[in-house]
Amino acid sequence: MSTLPVLYSFRRCPYAMRARLALAVSGQVCELREVVLRNKPQGLLQASPKATVPVLVLLDGQVLEQSLDIMQWALAQNDPAGWLTPSHGDVNAMLALVAECDGPFKQALDRCKYPNRHPEADAPLARKQAMEWLQGLEVRLGGHHCLFGNHATLADMAIAPFVRQFAGIDIAWWDAQPWPHLQAWLSQWQASSLFESVMHKWPAWVDDTEGEPFPHHAEAAGPFHQ
């Protein structure tokens, strides 16, 4: 039995990415179990029958199955970078923007990134919808460095993994868009030591073995904007 909270994760999953970011910045040490999604381990299935990542199993047996719940739990323990205290707006405003990301934007993103999975979708319309939402982020970032002020918050860290995924569909196209503030924001986040620390390549976890310690690097406690 683990003596640390256990995080079931998948390196490239944007939901798992946002959970790892919050755990790392808050200094919540846990046992990371990297899941192979096509061959899900029994440990994950027993902890969470829905079998999607991330899943965080706390020492008292409580299971957190939603990435935002994991983020908010970690930051409630310790929030040294002020991710829950934006200089503009409040937590409710941040969660409302994240809900837009997780709802309409994610739906449009999936239709752009995986057209074969959504043959019924209008791909040009989905891209237009995604671009309109991203333009809103560009406008926000024209006034300050981050989405809710001049330091990174829960909103930046919850949304950036999905913007990264959209940008990765066609990097040349992304670079050609008239979004200098959004492009700089994403680039700075991806260049940060925090991002690097949560994108370490972990070996696949096997049932009844010990997972990997997480976070790996002490510098993970710094936000990507000071």
pLDDT in tens, 75-131: 999 999 999 999 999 999 999 999 999 999 999 999 999 988 877 778 889 999 999
Helices 91-100 and 154-167, packing angle to 10 deg: 20
Do residues 33 and 110 both lie within one domain? no
Asked if pLDDT for residue 26 goes beyond 90, the answer is yes
pLDDT at 204: 96
**Residue at 154 is within a domain:** yes
At residue 224, the pLDDT reads 55
Residue with tokens 């192979």: 36
Based on the fold, state whether residues 64 and 31 are members of the same structural domain.
Answer: yes
Give the model's confidence band at 1: pLDDT under 50 very low, under 70 low, under 90 confident, else very high.
low
CATH number of domain containing 101:
1.20.1050.10
The model's pTM is 0.94
On whether both 109 and 137 belong to a single domain, the answer is: yes
121, part of any domain: yes
Q: Is residue 95 domain-shared with residue 156, that is, in the same domain?
A: yes
Percent of the chain topping pLDDT 70? 95
- 10 and 66 together in one domain: yes
Average pLDDT over residues 10-27: 97
C-alpha count within 13 angstroms, C-beta hemisphere, residue 200: 20
* pLDDT value at residue 217: 55
> How far are the Cα atoms of 161, 188, 206, 217 from residue 27, in angstroms, in the given order?
20, 21, 25, 10
- 213 in Cβ contact with 32 (< 8 Å): yes
In a domain, 226, yes or no: no
Beta strands in 27-165 (DSSP E): 30-34, 55-57, 63-64
| CATH number of 33's domain | 3.40.30.10
> Same structural domain for residues 163 and 145?
yes
140, two tokens? 């926000």
User: How large is the average pLDDT for residues 31-45?
Assistant: 94
State how far the Cα of 34 lies from the Cα of 11, in Å rounded to an integer: 7
Q: Which residues contact 110 (CB under 8 A, 6 or more apart)?
A: 117, 118
Domain count, the chain: 2
**Residue 44 shares a structural domain with residue 56:** yes
Per-residue burial over 20-34, b if 16 or more Cβ lie within 10 Å, else e, is bbbbbbbebebbbbb
In this structure, the answer to whether residues 165 and 184 fall within a common structural domain is yes
pLDDT band at 221 (very low <50, low <70, confident <90, very high): very low
* Residues 63, 122 within the same domain: no
Full domain range(s) for residue 45: 6-82+194-221
Q: Note the pLDDT of residue 180.
A: 98
Same domain, 188 and 198: no
**Shared domain check, 206 and 183:** no
The answer to whether residues 95 and 188 belong to one domain is yes
Residue 119: predicted pLDDT: 79
